Amino acid sequence: MFTEDMDVIASSAAAKAEFCKRSVRGYLMASVLAGFFIGLGVLAMSTAAGIFTAASSPFTKIISAFIFPAALSLVVFAGAELFTGNIFVMTVGVLEKKAFPCELLRILILSYVGNLVGSVLCALIFAATGLGTGDTLSYILSACETKTTLSALELMARGVLCNILVCLAVRCNLRMRSESARLMMIFWCIFTFVICGFEHSVANMTMLTLGFILPHGGEISGAGYVYNLFFVTLGNIIGGAAGVAVPYWMISRPENKNNG
């Protein structure tokens, strides 16, 4: 069972590498879309969370966790290239020798850059709508202040746990046969990471950009932006590769027994 699963994931890695080799522009556009889709989830979550926070509701985190899974659902079902999920898929591809390490690096770099462009674009368009005010603005600025003042260890650890859950959602999506089952597993994995307060690098791209461009005080600076993304991204890489890809690959390996 595990061997077949790894074959499917490795084949997906090979397909990504081939797509990127065939059309860098097309791959970058797919990555931009993923960043934009995640950004839409951040906007919806922030708008709802702002309303509930202003009302001093104890259900703020629960509502946020219910809403944000829409972001990864869009990435998976509409079709786009997300950096965090690619860590898992491409690592398995390399371990299974269906992709080269240079292809892994190329995919991760291009998807990260594309996700950043899409996230920033989403934030800029939202800022232009004039909707980033009142309770929504207060929530965004508060979230940004927290994200840029956590310690490096806290950011990394939250990034590790976040991408373990995101990559489990990706693994389940590749394993499930029905769309309803895929949606359910995406929902529960993402619900868990949001309600626990873990850190997702691509989601932070939109959130921190909003905190930077919307009217604010000293909540976020360029240095704080880079600081958060650096350590969260590092944690996401560790979580996706060492936390999910390597363990499942090891489980799928047949034992070599010496009968001599």
CA angle (106 as vertex; 251, 244 as ends), nearest 5: 20
CA distances from 134 to 62, 138, 215 (A): 21, 6, 11
Cα 157 from chain centroid (whole Å): 15
CB atoms within 10 A of CB 2: 12
**Residue 177 pLDDT:** 83
CA distance 75 to 62: 22
**Residue 204 pLDDT:** 98
2-251: CATH, from 3.30.70.2860, 1.10.10.60, 1.20.1080.10, 3.60.120.10: 1.20.1080.10
**Residue 260 pLDDT:** 40
Burial class of residue 5 (count of CB atoms within 10 Å of its CB; 0-12, 13-18, 19+): middle
**Residue 255 pLDDT:** 64
Burial class of residue 59 (count of CB atoms within 10 Å of its CB; 0-12, 13-18, 19+): exposed
Q: What is the block-wise mean pLDDT of the chain (260 residues), using blocks of 10 residues?
A: 87 97 97 98 98 96 97 96 98 96 98 98 98 96 95 98 97 88 95 97 97 82 94 98 96 63
**Domain boundaries defined on the chain:** 2-251
Q: What would the two tokens of residue 87 be?
A: 């860590």
CA distance 136 to 49: 8
**Residue 4 pLDDT:** 86
Among residues 171, 155, 164, 154, the alpha carbon closest in space to that of 192 is found at: 164
pTM: 0.94
